Structure 1
Amino acid sequence: MTRTLPLNAHLIDVGPLVYGCMALGGDWGGAPVTETDIAHAHAAVEAALDIGVKLFDHADIYRRGKAEAVFGELLKRDPGLRARVRLQSKCGIRFADEANVGRYDLSADHIEHSVDGILRRLAVEHIDILLLHRPDALMEPAEVARAFGRLKAAGKVGHLGVSNMHAGQMRWLQTALSEPLVVNQLELSLAKLDAIDAGTTFNDPQVGSRPGSIAWAGTLEYAQQHGMQLQAWGSLAQGRFNDPAASAAAQVVHEIAETHRTTSNAVLLAWLLRHPAGIQPVIGSGNAERIRACADATRLQLSRDEWYRLYVTARGQALP
């Protein structure tokens, strides 16, 4: 399965799956990256490459920069690796410190400063895609556009996308941009159904007990209408469907996996891939074995009945 993004006048081949690098780089504290951390990252990246992953997703905050740093070390040690991967990173989240609360920052200065740090840690001169990590209440689209324009002109960033933004936020930001936003990455899995529910249960009188779905109204449709790639973080649901005895939904995942002679991980990702929005699952595990257990996802074609059986069972209640 080939997945390409229609980025302006040319196509970039990114494949159907994304590897999320948040689990790489050791702990979240100040300890330096060790050889053990590098070996762990190498095993995970090789496992991802083995199952056909081309796009590797980072963020400047992952392991407080160490996820990018350890990946940069892999690129230094294997000069041929850069040509085999596409690089995506995110900025816009600032941690609390002695002087400030944790906050979001999509000011031009912060975006440009963040990209310089991303490039330095990854030991590259260019990343293919930059995502704005979270919606900033003080975001000014024209300011974001100016920052992206300067980064693009300097050859530092190829394309711009967002993460965790709904349709209205993307539409507002797009008004100031001369190029289309190419990606929206949001949490979506059998354990996080809000974006799907937004299109199927908006007229359900019980939806008041599921307020998260209302916020995502029109988001999947906006992406499809504008040719935007949707990416699903948390796609493996933190392993909660691995044990068939854990829940009715986990049992259904297990049964469908047995029917297709594959793994539960593959079923979870195939469920996302089956959606007409062409969702790219982001695999966030740092375990090489678990990454390889996703291999069948791109070859597994779930039927409509299987897709809805998984969806309705995971919802825990019938559709209205």
Structure 2
Amino acid sequence: MQELIYGCMGLGGSWSDEPHEAKHVDQAAAAVQAAMDAGITLFDHADIYRRGKSEAVFGEVLAATPGLRERIRLQTKCGIRLNERGLQTHYDLSREGILERVNGSLGRLRTDFVDVLLLHRPDPLADPAEVASAVGQLMAEGKVRQLGVSNMSAAQIEALQDRLETPVVANQLEMSLLKRAWLESQVLVNHPEHLEYSFPHGTLEYCARNNITLQAYGSLARGAYTGAELESPASAEAATAELVAELAVQYGTTGEAVLLGWLMKHPSGIAPVIGTANPERILACADAERVAGAMTRADWYRLWVTARGSNIP
């Protein structure tokens, strides 16, 4: 499904173990309202975001707003563990790990189920049969309605799907005008530069063939083209920011909508994840679908070529 998704990683305060404060709940409430005003109904979480505080403050917003849960959809992720057993990061898609982390997310979110569960990263030690068993139990218990993945290649999804009794419905990847490996890999197959990009060729095509929605995190390029301080006024980033501003005027919209519209114009049906907690920037994204439909092929290519800093082959 091509839509805007609100990414909740910026909610909940710091990444420390310190508990969240009332002001963080207020911030979350303002972001949720802005997202809904922008027409967004899908909210993206992960158990590790702000050490669980992103889910916790969202859960407080849900509890304080009767009827809100019925008007939105929730997705969360599991599979990454932080600062446990002497490791800064490790992955855990064991059966026990999945069940434990999903139950923890449900408690923090104060909900009985999530609409979509994403497996956050490929775990080299994961047994697809174990993963399928955990997912099957969660679905049978009504705690998870659909399954997706994040940061996975076509081959990894296919190997997992062989064991699952439910279809994988989403794959969340970093995709933006700044992070273009997903796009460059499509056209550089027969060029030496192809080796510079690690994105697994064929993943976009596999997802399209199997009705797997591509969710793009980092879709606003972390503000690189819409106000972030740039290192050099002569850089490709500066030239791209200037072009984004020009096209925003041309299409009667915002720079944010231009960036997201550029992604959404791609025929893969990309659903951008918006990560800002600033209500004004969230609302600035609302026009993205219209811009995607209005953007000319020439303008789409102008943005790509300017961002890459050199012509395409």
Asked if 1:249 corresponds to 2:233, the answer is: no
- Cα deviations by residue, 1:149-207 (Å, 9 ceiling, x for unpaired): 00000110001110010111111111111221000000000010011112111112222
Q: Paired residue for 1:211?
A: 197
Q: 1:299 to 1:186 in 2, by over 3 A?
A: same
| Distance (Å, rounded) in 2 between the aligned partners of 1:77 and 1:130 | 24
* Deviant stretches of 4+, over 3 Å: 97-101, 243-246
Q: Which amino acid aligns with 1:211?
A: Y
Structure 1's unaligned 5+ residue stretches are 4-14
| Distance (Å, rounded) in 1 between the aligned partners of 2:193 and 2:275 | 32
| Distance (Å, rounded) in 2 between the aligned partners of 1:120 and 1:281 | 27
- The answer on whether the counterparts of 2:185 and 2:197 sit within 8 Å (CA) in structure 1 is no
Report the CA distance between 1:316 and its aligned residue: 1.8
Q: Paired residue for 1:319?
A: 312
| Distance (Å, rounded) in 1 between the aligned partners of 2:124 and 2:53 | 28
| Distance (Å, rounded) in 1 between the aligned partners of 2:18 and 2:49 | 14
- How does the TM-score come out when normalised to structure 1? 0.92
- The answer on whether the counterparts of 1:194 and 1:216 sit within 8 Å (CA) in structure 2 is no
SS in 2 for 1:96: strand
Structure 2's unaligned 5+ residue stretches are none
Q: 1:123 to 1:180 in 2, by over 3 A?
A: same
SS in 2 for 1:227: coil
- The answer on whether the counterparts of 1:198 and 1:218 sit within 8 Å (CA) in structure 2 is no
Asked if 1:240 corresponds to 2:224, the answer is: yes
Q: Paired residue for 1:270?
A: 261
| Distance (Å, rounded) in 2 between the aligned partners of 1:227 and 1:49 | 26
- The answer on whether the counterparts of 2:114 and 2:143 sit within 8 Å (CA) in structure 1 is yes
SS in 2 for 1:117: helix
What are the equivalent positions in structure 2 for 1:137-216 lying under 5 Å apart?
A: 137-208=124-195, 210-212=196-198, 215-216=199-200
Q: Paired residue for 1:23?
A: 10
| Distance (Å, rounded) in 1 between the aligned partners of 2:268 and 2:41 | 20
| Distance (Å, rounded) in 2 between the aligned partners of 1:272 and 1:217 | 18
- The answer on whether the counterparts of 2:184 and 2:197 sit within 8 Å (CA) in structure 1 is no
SS in 2 for 1:185: strand
- Cα deviations by residue, 1:65-107 (Å, 9 ceiling, x for unpaired): 0000000000100111101110000000011235344211111
Q: 301, 305, 310: which is aligned to 1:308?
A: 301
| Distance (Å, rounded) in 2 between the aligned partners of 1:120 and 1:276 | 38
SS in 1 for 2:168: coil
- The answer on whether the counterparts of 2:185 and 2:194 sit within 8 Å (CA) in structure 1 is no
| Distance (Å, rounded) in 2 between the aligned partners of 1:23 and 1:310 | 27
| Distance (Å, rounded) in 1 between the aligned partners of 2:309 and 2:149 | 30
RMSD: 1.3
- Cα deviations by residue, 1:213-264 (Å, 9 ceiling, x for unpaired): xx32111101100011110000001100014955222222111111111111
Q: Paired residue for 1:10?
A: none
Report the CA distance between 1:298 and its aligned residue: 1.6
What are the equivalent positions in structure 2 for 1:71-90 lying under 5 Å apart?
A: 71-90=58-77
| Distance (Å, rounded) in 2 between the aligned partners of 1:97 and 1:56 | 27
Percent of aligned pairs sharing the same letter: 52
